[in-house]
C-alpha cells in the first residue's frame, strides 16, 4: 500500500482566530492582539458606526428593490464585520476586486452612496470610476475578480510598489476554475494579493459542506498559499488577520488566503427565498453571533456606549439611508447611446459603426414608439 | 396640502410578470411610515415583504388578498403630504422630492399584458390559480393570513391533493417534520368528516372545496387551457373538417428502421423512430399534393400556398398541449427530422420550448398512438389545411402474400379543411403517406420533384432571406 497523505490532516481545521467573543468579551491572543493594539475608544466607535451605517444602507436598498426602484439587490446582512474589518485595514493605494455583495467595502473605499445602486437600478453599466476609489466595479461572474486581482498584483510587483490587491469572493467561488487559476498564478509569481473569502455558508442555496470536504481555508495550502481562518463576525479579528496578510504582501512574501467564517442572514439576492432551503434553527444560532451586537456589548462594557453615542450613530445611519434613497430615485434614465461610452478609452472604428447603426435604428422609431418599417422581423421566419 | 400617490406592483424578482398578494397588513385610513411592512406578496420565486414606498395615509387598496396581480397594476394608493407640507420627507433632510414620480420599473420592465413565460405555477394552498389576472377579481375579504405558511408536502402529493379536491391546509402530515404524504392525502379523502369546508380555505385554494366533498372539483379556466380551447373552437367552427382513415401494414418500415438504427448505432447517429418516417412521408406526399400545405386567408380573400413545410408536432407536455414546429422540415431529410424531433421532444419535456418554436407551422402531425389509441378525428391547428394523426402500431392478423400473418398495422387519420382540399387531393395525400409507410422503397418513386423550394434548395437557397420567392418544383 503506497503511503498517502492522510486526509485527517486536511480535515483538521486551522486555528480559529477570534478576539471578541459572542458576548463582546475580549479573547486574549498575543499573536494577533498586537495587530489591533492601535484600536482605541475612538476607533472602536468608528467601527461600530460603520457597521450600523452599512446595515442601514443595505436594508434601505432592499426596500428600494421591493418598491420597484432597483431591479435587484444582493443583501450583505450578517457579513458587515467581515467587510468593514478588512476594508478598514486597507490603504488608499491598495486595490479591491470584489464580487457583487461587497457594498460595505465599497462604502469604506469612499464610493458615493448613490453610486452603490446605479448599476442595480439599470441607470449605468457600472456605478463608479474604479481608479478614483481603488476598487473595481463588482464582478458578477463568480470568482472572475480573483484573476483580475492577481494580474493587478503582478503589475504592482513589476512597478516595485508595495500596494496590495485584495480580492473578495465567497465560499462557492472557491470551487470555480477562475479562483483556482488565480491561486496557482499568485503562488507561482508570489504576487502581493490577499484572497479574502467570506464563507457565508451558502452558495445561493447550496450549503458549503456539499462542495468542500475540507475547511475552505485548507484549500489554499494546496496551492502553496498560507491561510488564516478567522471569525468573520468579529470585526477586530478580521482586521488583525487582514493586516497580517497585507503586511506579508507588502514585504514581498506573496499571497495569503483568509477565510472569514460568517453567515448570510438574508437571501442570496432579493429574487431568492432562503426559507426554502435554510433551517430556521441555524438562523437563530447565527443571530446570537451578530457582529454589531457583540461590538455593542464591548462598547457597553467599556462605558463607551452612551445614549449620545447611540443617537449619533442612529442619526448618521438614517441620514445615509435618506441620501441613498433620494439619490437613487433621482437618478436619470441613461440615454440609450451611452452604452457605447466607456467600452474603450480611445475611439474604435467598429464600435463607432455600431453606435451609428444603433442611433439610426433609434431614429427609425416615430414619436408613438412604433417602427416605421415593420417588415424587418418578418422575413427571418420564412 | 396632500396629494394621492399610487403604487404599482413592481417586478419583485428578476423578470417576473405577476405576483399574488398574500396578505395586506394595512387598511384604508391607516397611517404608515416609509418602509413599513404593508403586505406579503408571493412571486413565483418567493414570498416577500412589501415595504411602504411612502409615509402617509393609506387611501385605497386596489387588489384584495389572494389574487394574482400583473406587474405594473396599481395595488395601493397613499395620501401623502405635498412638497410644502411637513410630510413624508420631513425625516429625510435635504432629499429631493421623490413622490412626484410614480413608482417605476427599472430594467426591461416585463410587459404586464403578456401571458407567456415565465409562468407562475399554481400551488394548492395558495391562491395562485384562483384568478387569472384578466378575470374579474373575486372579493375575498375573509382571506386569512393563514396561507403564509404553506403545508409541507412534495409536488406529487400536491398534485394528488388537487386531483382529489383536497385542501392541503386541512390535512395533518405524518411524515418527517410533519410533511404530508400521499397516504395522508388518501386517508383524508376517505373520511367525509375530514373534508371541512371553512371559509378561509375556500377563499385561498385552487380547487375550491364544495359541499359534497371530493366528488367534484372546479378549476378556473386560464392560461394554456384557455388558449387551447379558444384555438380549437375557432378551428372547428371556421374550417369545414373532413376526416379520412387508412389502415396499413407498416412491417417493412419497422424492419427498415431496425436496419437504419443498427447502422446508425455504429456511427453514433441519432436514433430514427416511426414518427420521423411519418414526417418524411408527409413531406414527400405534400410535395405531390401542394393543397394540403396551404392557408385560407379570409381577410385577404386569398389562398396562401406555402413553398416550404413547417411541420408541427402536437405534444402533450406538463403544461398542456403544445405544437412545436420543425421549420423547413421538407429540407431536412430523415436523419435531420429525427434529430429535430429529439430536440423538440427534449425541449417540450423540460418546458423550455420557446415561443418562436411554437409559431409558423403549416401542417401538423399528432401521435395519438403513444396513448394506445388507434384513430380519431383531429381538429386542425388553426390556420392549417391538414393534420395527420398516427395511431398505435399493433400486431394484427393481416393478409400477407396470400396468407394471414401477424403484421405491424397502423391506422392513419387525416383531417383537412374542405375549403382548401378536395376529397381527391386529401385522399391522394393520405394514400401517398400510406404507400411510403407500407413500402418505404416506394418513396423512390416520389422523389422526383421533391423540394418544395427547389430540389437543390438546401445548398443554393438557404442563404437567401426569402426562399419562398424561389421557384417551386413542378
Percent of chain B with pLDDT over 90: 39
pLDDT of residue A179: 98
Q: How confident is the model at residue B449 (pLDDT cuts 50, 70, 90)?
A: low
| Average pLDDT for B176-184 | 83
Region B268-296 average pLDDT: 92
Minimal-distance CA residue of chain A relative to B89: A322
Rounded CA separation B274/B237 (Å):
32
Fold of domain B135-204:
Dihydrolipoamide Transferase (4.10.320)
pLDDT band at B430 (very low <50, low <70, confident <90, very high): very high
Q: What angle separates helix B333-350 from helix B274-288, to the nearest 10 degrees? A: 120
Which has the minimum average pLDDT: A300-304, B123-127, B449-453?
Answer: B123-127
More confident call, A381 vs B120: B120
pLDDT at B149: 59
Of the listed ranges A296-305, B34-43, B191-200, B254-263, the least confidently predicted one is: B191-200
Report the pLDDT value the prediction gives residue B223, as an integer from 0 to 100. Answer: 61
Residue in chain B lying closest to A323 (CA): B95
Residues in contact with B8: Cβ distance below 8 Å, sequence separation at least 6, in sequence order: A68, B71, B72, B73, B74, B75, B102, B103
- Give B10 or B102, the one with higher predicted confidence: B10
Compute the average pLDDT of residues A316-337.
Answer: 95
Closest-CA distance, B12 to chain A, in angstroms, reads 6
Q: Which residue has the higher pLDDT, B270 or A82?
A: A82
Facing B51 at nearest CB: one of A66, A72, A382: A66
- Best residue of A73, A276, A329, A332 to probe chain B, by most B CBs closer than 10 Å: A329
Given an 8 Å threshold on Cβ–Cβ distance, is A272 in contact with B106?
no
Which position has the higher pLDDT, A310 or B132? A310
How large is the average pLDDT for residues B7-32? 88
pLDDT of B233 higher than 60: yes
Check if the interface score ipTM surpasses 0.85.
no
Backbone angles phi, psi at A208, to 5 degrees: -60, -30
pLDDT confidence bin for B201, thresholds 50/70/90: very low
Bridge partners (DSSP) listed for residue B406: B397
Using CA coordinates, name the residue in chain A closest to B44: A271
Q: Which residue of A has its CA nearest to B95?
A: A326
Give CA–CA dist A280/A145, Å, rounded: 32
The arithmetic mean of pLDDT across residues B358-381, rounded, is 90
Burial class (CB in 10 A: 0-12, 13-18, 19+), A206: middle
In the three-class reduction of DSSP (H, G, I as helix; E, B as strand; rest coil), residue B79 is classed as: strand
> Closest by alpha carbon to A63, among B98, B146, B69, B18?
B98
Chain B residue numbers with beta carbons less than 8 Å from the beta carbon of A123 are 106
Which of A69, A318, A379 has the CB atom closest to B106's CB atom?
Answer: A69
**B19: which chain A residues are within 8 Å (Cβ-Cβ)?**
none
Residue B164 pLDDT grade (very low, low, confident, very high; cuts 50, 70, 90): confident
Q: Is A313 helix (H, G, I), strand (E, B) or coil?
A: helix
Cite the active site residues of A: 264, 268, 277
Coil, strand, or helix at residue B403? strand
Write down the CATH number for the domain with range B2-91: 2.40.50.100
Give the CATH number of domain B224-461; options: 1.10.150.120, 3.30.390.10, 3.40.50.720, 3.30.559.10: 3.30.559.10
- CB atoms inside a 10 Å sphere around CB A253: 13
Instruction: Tell me what the mean pLDDT of segment A166-177 comes to.
Output: 97
What is the tens place of the pLDDT at every residue in B336-349? 999 999 888 888 77
Q: What's the pLDDT band for A64 if we cut at 50, 70, 90?
A: very high
Show me where the domains of chain A are located.
8-329, 336-374
**Chain A residues within 8 A of B466 when measuring between CB atoms:** 379, 382
Q: What's the rounded Cα separation, in Å, for the pair B326 and B353? A: 12
Which pLDDT tens digit goes with each residue over A119-171? 999 998 889 999 999 999 999 999 999 999 999 999 999 999 999 999 999 99
Q: What is the mean pLDDT of chain A?
A: 92
Give the per-residue pLDDT at A9. Answer: 65
pLDDT of residue B356: 74
- Measured between beta carbons, the chain A residues lying within 8 angstroms of B149 are none
Which chain A residues touch B93 with a CB distance below 8 Å? 319, 322
Looking at the complex, does the CB of residue A272 fall below 8 Å from at least one CB of chain B? yes
Residue B71, pLDDT > 80, answer yes
Distance from CA of A329 to the nearest CA of B (A): 6
Tens of pLDDT, residues A201-219: 999 999 999 999 889 999 9
Average of pLDDT values for B154-182?
82
Q: Which of B151, B211, B160, B218 is nearest to B185 (CA)?
A: B160
pLDDT band of A6, cuts 50, 70, 90: low
The pLDDT value given to residue A288: 95
The CATH architecture one would assign to domain A8-329 is 3-Layer(aba) Sandwich (3.40)
Average of per-residue pLDDT across B387-413:
94
Sheet of B31-32, strands arranged across:
B2-8, B74-81, B56-61, B31-32
- Is there a contact between A199 and A262 (Cβ–Cβ < 8 Å)? yes
* Chain A: closest CA distance from residue B288 (Å): 21
Give the per-residue pLDDT at B91. Answer: 39
Predicted confidence at residue B264, as pLDDT, reads: 85
What's the whole-number mean pLDDT along residues A172-196?
A: 97
Which pLDDT does position B186 carry in this prediction? Answer: 80
* Intervals of CATH 3.30.559.10 along chain B: 224-461
Amino acid at each position: 500500500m503506497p503511503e498517502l497523505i492522510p486526509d485527517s490532516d486536511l480535515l483538521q481545521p486551522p486555528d480559529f482566530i477570534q478576539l471578541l467573543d459572542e458576548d463582546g468579551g475580549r479573547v486574549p491572543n498575543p499573536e494577533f492582539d498586537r495587530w489591533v493594539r492601535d484600536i482605541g475608544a475612538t476607533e472602536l466607535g468608528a467601527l461600530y458606526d460603520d457597521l450600523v451605517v452599512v446595515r442601514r444602507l443595505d436594508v434601505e436598498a432592499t426596500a428600494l428593490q421591493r418598491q420597484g426602484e432597483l431591479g435587484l439587490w444582493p443583501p450583505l446582512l450578517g457579513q458587515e464585520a467581515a467587510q468593514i474589518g478588512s476594508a478598514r485595514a486597507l490603504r488608499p493605494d491598495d486595490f479591491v476586486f470584489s464580487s457583487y455583495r461587497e457594498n460595505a467595502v465599497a462604502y469604506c473605499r469612499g464610493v458615493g452612496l448613490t453610486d452603490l445602486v446605479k448599476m442595480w437600478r439599470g441607470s449605468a453599466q457600472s456605478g463608479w470610476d474604479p481608479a478614483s476609489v481603488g476598487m473595481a466595479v463588482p464582478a458578477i461572474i463568480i470568482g472572475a475578480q480573483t484573476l483580475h486581482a492577481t494580474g493587478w498584483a503582478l503589475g504592482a510587483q513589476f512597478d516595485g510598489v508595495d500596494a496590495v490587491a485584495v480580492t473578495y469572493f465567497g465560499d462557492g467561488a472557491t470551487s470555480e476554475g477562475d479562483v483556482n487559476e488565480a491561486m496557482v498564478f499568485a503562488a507561482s509569481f508570489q504576487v502581493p494579493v490577499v484572497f479574502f473569502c467570506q464563507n457565508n455558508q451558502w452558495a445561493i442555496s447550496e450549503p458549503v459542506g456539499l462542495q468542500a470536504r475540507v475547511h475552505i481555508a485548507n484549500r489554499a495550502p494546496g496551492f502553496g498559499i498560507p491561510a488564516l481562518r478567522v471569525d468573520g463576525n468579529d470585526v477586530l479579528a478580521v482586521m488583525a488577520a487582514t493586516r497580517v496578510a497585507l503586511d506579508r504582501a507588502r514585504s514581498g512574501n506573496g499571497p495569503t488566503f483568509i477565510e472569514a467564517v460568517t453567515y448570510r442572514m438574508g437571501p442570496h439576492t432579493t429574487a431568492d427565498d432562503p426559507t426554502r432551503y435554510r433551517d430556521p434553527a441555524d438562523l437563530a444560532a447565527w443571530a446570537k453571533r451578530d457582529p454589531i451586537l457583540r461590538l455593542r456589548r464591548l462598547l457597553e462594557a467599556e462605558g463607551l456606549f452612551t445614549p449620545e453615542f447611540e443617537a449619533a450613530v442612529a442619526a448618521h445611519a438614517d441620514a445615509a439611508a435618506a441620501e441613498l434613497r433620494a439619490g437613487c430615485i433621482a437618478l436619470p434614465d441613461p440615454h440609450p447611446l451611452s452604452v457605447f461610452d466607456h467600452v474603450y478609452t480611445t475611439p474604435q472604428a467598429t464600435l463607432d459603426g455600431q453606435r451609428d447603426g444603433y442611433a439610426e435604428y433609434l431614429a427609425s422609431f416615430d414619436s408613438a414608439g412604433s417602427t416605421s418599417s415593420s417588415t424587418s422581423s418578418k422575413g427571418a421566419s420564412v | 396640502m396632500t396629494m394621492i400617490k399610487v403604487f404599482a406592483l413592481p417586478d419583485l424578482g428578476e423578470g417576473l410578470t405577476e405576483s399574488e398578494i398574500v396578505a395586506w397588513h394595512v387598511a384604508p385610513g391607516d397611517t404608515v411610515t416609509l418602509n413599513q411592512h404593508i403586505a406579503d406578496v408571493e412571486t413565483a420565486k418567493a414570498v416577500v415583504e412589501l415595504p411602504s414606498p411612502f409615509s402617509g395615509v393609506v387611501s385605497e387598496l386596489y387588489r384584495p388578498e389572494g389574487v394574482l396581480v400583473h406587474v405594473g397594476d396599481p395595488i395601493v394608493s397613499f395620501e401623502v403630504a405635498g412638497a410644502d407640507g411637513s410630510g413624508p420627507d420631513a425625516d429625510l433632510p435635504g432629499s429631493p422630492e421623490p413622490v412626484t414620480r410614480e413608482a417605476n420599473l427599472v430594467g426591461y420592465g416585463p410587459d404586464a399584458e403578456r401571458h407567456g413565460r415565465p409562468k407562475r405555477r399554481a400551488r394548492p394552498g395558495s391562491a395562485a390559480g384562483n384568478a387569472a389576472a384578466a378575470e374579474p377579481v373575486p372579493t375575498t375579504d375573509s382571506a386569512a393570513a393563514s396561507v403564509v405558511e404553506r403545508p409541507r408536502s412534495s409536488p406529487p402529493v400536491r398534485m394528488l391533493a388537487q386531483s382529489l379536491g383536497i385542501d392541503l391546509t386541512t390535512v395533518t402530515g405524518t411524515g418527517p417534520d410533519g410533511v404530508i404524504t400521499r397516504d395522508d392525502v388518501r386517508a383524508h379523502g376517505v373520511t367525509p368528516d375530514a373534508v371541512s369546508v371553512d371559509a378561509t380555505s375556500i377563499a385561498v385554494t385552487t380547487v375550491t372545496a364544495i359541499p359534497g366533498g371530493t366528488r367534484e372539483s372546479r378549476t378556473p379556466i386560464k392560461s394554456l387551457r384557455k388558449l387551447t380551447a379558444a384555438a380549437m373552437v375557432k378551428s372547428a367552427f371556421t374550417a369545414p373538417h373532413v376526416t379520412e382513415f387508412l389502415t396499413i401494414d407498416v412491417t417493412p418500415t419497422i424492419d427498415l428502421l431496425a436496419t437504419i438504427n443498427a447502422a446508425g448505432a455504429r456511427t453514433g447517429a441519432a436514433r430514427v423512430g416511426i414518427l420521423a418516417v411519418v414526417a418524411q412521408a408527409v413531406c414527400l406526399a405534400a410535395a405531390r399534393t401542394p393543397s394540403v400545405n396551404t392557408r385560407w386567408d379570409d381577410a385577404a380573400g386569398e389562398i396562401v400556398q406555402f413553398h416550404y413545410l413547417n411541420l408541427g408536432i402536437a405534444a402533450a407536455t406538463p403544461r398542456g398541449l403544445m405544437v412545436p414546429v420543425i421549420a423547413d422540415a421538407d429540407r431536412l431529410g430523415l436523419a435531420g427530422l429525427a434529430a429535430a424531433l429529439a430536440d423538440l421532444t427534449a425541449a417540450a419535456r423540460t418546458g423550455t420550448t420557446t415561443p418562436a418554436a411554437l409559431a409558423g407551422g403549416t401542417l401538423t402531425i399528432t401521435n395519438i398512438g403513444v396513448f394506445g389509441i388507434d384513430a380519431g378525428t383531429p381538429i386542425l391547428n388553426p390556420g392549417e389545411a391538414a393534420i395527420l394523426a398516427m395511431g398505435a402500431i399493433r400486431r394484427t392478423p393481416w393478409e400477407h402474400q396470400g396468407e394471414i400473418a401477424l403484421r405491424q398495422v397502423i391506422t392513419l387519420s387525416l383531417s383537412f379543411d374542405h375549403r382548401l382540399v378536395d376529397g381527391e387531393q386529401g385522399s391522394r395525400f393520405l394514400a401517398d403517406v400510406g404507400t411510403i409507410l407500407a413500402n418505404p422503397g416506394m418513396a423512390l418513386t416520389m422523389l422526383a420533384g421533391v423540394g418544395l423550394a427547389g430540389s437543390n434548395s438546401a445548398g443554393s437557397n438557404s442563404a437567401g432571406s426569402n426562399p419562398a420567392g424561389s421557384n417551386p418544383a413542378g
